[in-house]
Amino acid sequence: MDVHSRDYRARARQIIEETPEVREAVNAATQTFVDNRQNAFADLDGTALSRWAERVKSHALTHLADYLEEAEARLIERGAHVHWAETASDVHQIFERIVREQGVKKAVKAKSMLSEEIGLNPFLESCGVEVFETDLGEYIIQLLGEPPSHIVGPSIHKSLDDTRVIFHERLGTPRDASPERLAEAARDLLREAFLTADLGISGGNFLVAETGSIALIENEGNIRLSTSVPRIHIALVGIEKVLPKWADLPTFLQVTAKSATGQPVGCFVSMIQGPGGLPGGEPDGPEELHVVLVDNGRSRLLADPEVWEALRCVRCGACLNICPVYRQTGGHAYGYVYSGPIGGILGPGLVGLEETLPLPFASSACGACADVCPVRIPIPDLLHVWRQRAVERGLTSDVERSVLGLLTSTATRPRLFGWAEKAAGLLPAPVLRHLPMLREWSAGREPPRLEGPTFRELWDEGIE
Amino acid sequence: MSDERVSKRARARILDRVREANQEREPVEHPGALPDGLEPPGPFGDAGRSDPVGAFEDRLRAAGGEVVRLADEAAARKWLEEFAREFEHVSVGVGVPDTLQPALPKAPPSEAALGVSVAVGAAAQTGSLVLSSKEGRQSQLLPPVHLIWVRAGDVHTTLGDALQACRQDLPATLALHSGPSKSADIGQILVTGVHGPGRIIAAVLLGPKP
């Protein structure tokens, strides 16, 4: 996927000014998620749970090579093919061979953020494969030609009416169709695709090393269908998705579902150990299971002593839902597959700071994301690390660096600070409006009146 | 370079980089099982332990599923006869006992109005039925209505227990079904039966295993 994060500020402004309904839609959806998440954790010791989950994930990451080899061995024993890919191009090559050798013409796809990272859909289309996104939200944005706006709900920025319009145009449903009617139209069309596709593609929420199990969580049933009906299933799994033991899985399934939508668990969970059909000695299921273990920047991020903890992420979206900055625009402003707070720490790690520069700065430093992260990623700290690096590498604006440098020099010299205070009191108030960086902040505010003794003067006199 | 050689080379390089990344790092110990009492309980607390079937029923109902309890095989057959009347044809999973199959003409899963399965277990904590791919997956997914038989003795309190019970004999795919298929992707309005079955009925067989 092309990264457009450098345009964040312009895109954010455009979304807020030109399409205010997006902000409304995103706010409504995320507030629902936030409320439901809160209810789900009300009777639980969330802190103890997240401490446990953090340790399991950190253990997995600090022993990652061994666990990846174990998962691979289990999968091969069951008759699955395991491939490894360092880059997007490696993944493309793997798909290209399977498509060519198996004569794949049609593919059904379950939602996978990793597949967006590596630009899978355009590549498959260039190989002559017709690709159907089967997650209803992904299907809607596929029709619209848009990228996803949220990790869990790709189309939360689209209203009912938006969906009515596009379905009317492309599927011929009535212009005022009910949500049930729209869902029915999508179901009938995609059902046909499930039944006639040669290939099913999925991501992976977790990869359990002990049993080689790929775990997938969903509510619609499209993942179960995509991974059961076509004769070939390819699962794309980031190397950081590893869980060590089968016994770790039930808690992670529940914690992820509760953090994402407040549900006890998703309506459907698939735990896939190997191919079905003849190789698996079963009545149906894919004859071939391919698991592609993908790096795409993860091993480099793992090597980073300050930011590696970002790899604990379970993609629940809780940090997006609670982020006051994300809620203003939804995901499109970020120009990258991962948006919100997690986007601000994964983006620079996976793609590079130059390409994703504005993202760590798209934050009010409120810290709410750290409170809701089920694996206790210290997101504000990691955002801060990237910001520091941006300044050190000279990537931030010269004006900002100068102004902040001046402020630092003044604030760290008490006498100079005292004089500056007095001088500011002598300035006519409207001047403040025109100072760089204060202009926008003061646009909607009355200027403060700097009159009377300063706090320091009062202190010296002895305040009552 | 052939894709297999790319994969082999990628494997070696990825594992090397991962090992090197962790070389200087303090390894973190696995914390072991969650301490007792911290495992996410159901909303029913102790009731979940003393009455797993009741707790399972509450949870599955809350998610939009239907639950019926049947005292014994005779009651089950009677109920099934009544229940099956509204359906034209059925797709039955492999291994479903004859006594638990409705007397309806069989149809392929993609055409059948009703699918019938036997769960290998259930979990009260999450209101989940555990299904095995050994009986065939299409009858679990394609018909719009899904009837799942489960024995009361196979209803575990926690999801952990339910999954642990399957650990030694994992099929190609073990699945959890915890409610009818649903989505709120259309303008945040909930609709059911989007891809998977829009109606699921758990029929709990009380009484001992035959």
- How far CA A63 is from CA of A108, A145, A294, in Å, comes to 34, 40, 17
In a domain, B11, yes or no: no
Interface A–B counts its CB contacts (< 8 A) at 276
The structural domains of chain A, ordered by start, are 2-43+307-396 (1.10.1060), 44-296 (3.40.50.10420), 403-461 (no CATH)
| Residue of A344, A341, A362, A342 whose CA lies nearest to A353 | A344
B181: its two tokens = 């298929």
Q: Are A126 and A215 in contact (CB under 8 A)?
A: no
Taking only the tens place, the pLDDT of each residue in B105-126 is: 999 999 999 999 999 999 999 9
Go through chain A and tell me how many residues it has: 464
Chain Cα centroid distance, residue A439: 33
In a domain, B16, yes or no: no
Tell me the C-alpha distance between B21 and A402, whole Å: 36
Consecutive 10-residue averages of pLDDT for chain A (464 residues): 91 94 91 94 89 97 98 98 97 97 97 95 97 92 84 80 91 92 91 97 98 97 97 98 97 95 95 95 97 98 98 97 96 94 97 96 96 98 97 90 89 87 72 68 73 80 76
- Distance (Å) from the C-alpha of residue A192 to the closest C-alpha of chain B? 10
Is A282 close to B159, i.e. CB distance below 8 A?
no
Give yes or no for B143 touching A (CB within 8 A).
Answer: no
Coil, helix or strand at residue B151 = strand
> Is the model more confident about A391 or about B38?
A391
Residue B1 pLDDT: 58
Contacts of B27 in chain A (CB under 8 A): 59, 62-63
| Residue of B119, B64, B113 whose CA lies nearest to B84 | B113
Is A285 close to B133, i.e. CB distance below 8 A?
yes
Q: Are B107 and B133 in contact (CB under 8 A)?
A: no
Q: Around A202, how many Cα atoms within 13 Å sit in the side-chain half-sphere?
A: 31
Cβ burial, residue A449 (10 Å; 0-12/13-18/19+): exposed
Token look-up 């969970």 returns A269
In a domain, B14, yes or no: no
| Residue of A258, A279, A123 whose CA lies nearest to A201 | A123
Top residue of B20, B61, B137 to mutate, by most chain A CBs within 10 Å, is B137
- Distance (Å) from the C-alpha of residue A290 to the closest C-alpha of chain B? 12
| Residue of A102, A358, A139 whose CA lies nearest to A230 | A102
Give yes or no for B179 touching A (CB within 8 A).
Answer: yes
Alpha helices (runs of H) in B24-89, residue ranges in sequence order: 47-50, 52-62, 73-84
Tell me the C-alpha distance between A131 and A121, whole Å: 7
Residue B37 pLDDT: 53
Tell me the C-alpha distance between A282 and A69, whole Å: 27
Residue among A49, A154, A179 minimizing CB distance to B40: A49
Torsion of CA A327, A332, A336, A340, to 10 degrees: 0
**Quick one: how many helices (H) and strands (E) in chain A?**
24, 10
Q: What is the DSSP letter of B106?
A: B
What is chain B's mean pLDDT, rounded?
Answer: 91
Beta bridge partners of B201: B66, B147
Residue A461 pLDDT: 87
Coil, helix or strand at residue A295 = coil
Beta carbons within 10 angstroms of residue A69's beta carbon:
13
| Residue of B54, B134, B148, B158 whose CA lies nearest to A285 | B134
In a domain, B165, yes or no: yes
In a domain, B5, yes or no: no
- CA-based nearest residue in chain B for residue A184: B194
Contacts of B180 in chain A (CB under 8 A): 267
Token look-up 């399977």 returns A98
| Residue of A381, A296, A331, A461 whose CA lies nearest to A15 | A331
- How far CA A145 is from CA of A108, A138, B87, B150, in Å, comes to 17, 10, 40, 44
In a domain, B4, yes or no: no
Tell me the C-alpha distance between A230 and A226, whole Å: 7
Q: Are A255 and A310 in contact (CB under 8 A)?
A: no
Torsion of CA A269, A273, A279, A281, to 10 degrees: -70
Top residue of A78, A268, A293 to mutate, by most chain B CBs within 10 Å, is A268
Is B178 close to A59, i.e. CB distance below 8 A?
no
Is A135 close to B187, i.e. CB distance below 8 A?
no
Tell me the C-alpha distance between A110 and A113, whole Å: 10
Q: Which domain holds residue B77?
A: 48-205
Tell me the C-alpha distance between A294 and A157, whole Å: 29
Contacts of A228 in chain B (CB under 8 A): 133, 137-138, 141, 173
Positive/negative CA dihedral, B147, B153, B154, B160: positive
- Distance (Å) from the C-alpha of residue B100 to the closest C-alpha of chain A? 20
- Distance (Å) from the C-alpha of residue B176 to the closest C-alpha of chain A? 5
- Interface ipTM: 0.95
Query: Structurally, how many domains does chain B consist of?
Result: 1
Residue among A48, A63, A302 minimizing CB distance to B38: A48
Q: Which residues, other chains included, contact A286 with Cβ-Cβ below 8 Å and sequence gap of 6+?
A: A200, A227, A228, A230, A231, A232, A233, A275, A276, A277
In a domain, B70, yes or no: yes
Residue B43 pLDDT: 45
Contacts of B18 in chain A (CB under 8 A): 64-65, 68, 239, 299, 302
Dmax over Cα atoms in chain A, in whole Å?
Answer: 89
Residue B44 pLDDT: 43
Domain containing B173 — which CATH number? 3.40.50.10420
In a domain, B37, yes or no: no
Residue A45 pLDDT: 86
| Residue of A130, A120, A131, A162 whose CA lies nearest to A144 | A162
- CA-based nearest residue in chain B for residue A224: B141
Is B22 close to A63, i.e. CB distance below 8 A?
yes
Chain Cα centroid distance, residue B139: 13
| Residue of B124, B186, B136, B6 whose CA lies nearest to A294 | B6
N-term to C-term CA, chain A: 62
Strand order in the sheet with A199-202: A81-85, A288-294, A232-238, A199-202, A106-109, A130-133
Residue among A134, A219, A285 minimizing CB distance to B182: A219
Give yes or no for B50 touching A (CB within 8 A).
Answer: no
Contacts of B33 in chain A (CB under 8 A): 247
- CA-based nearest residue in chain A for residue B189: A179
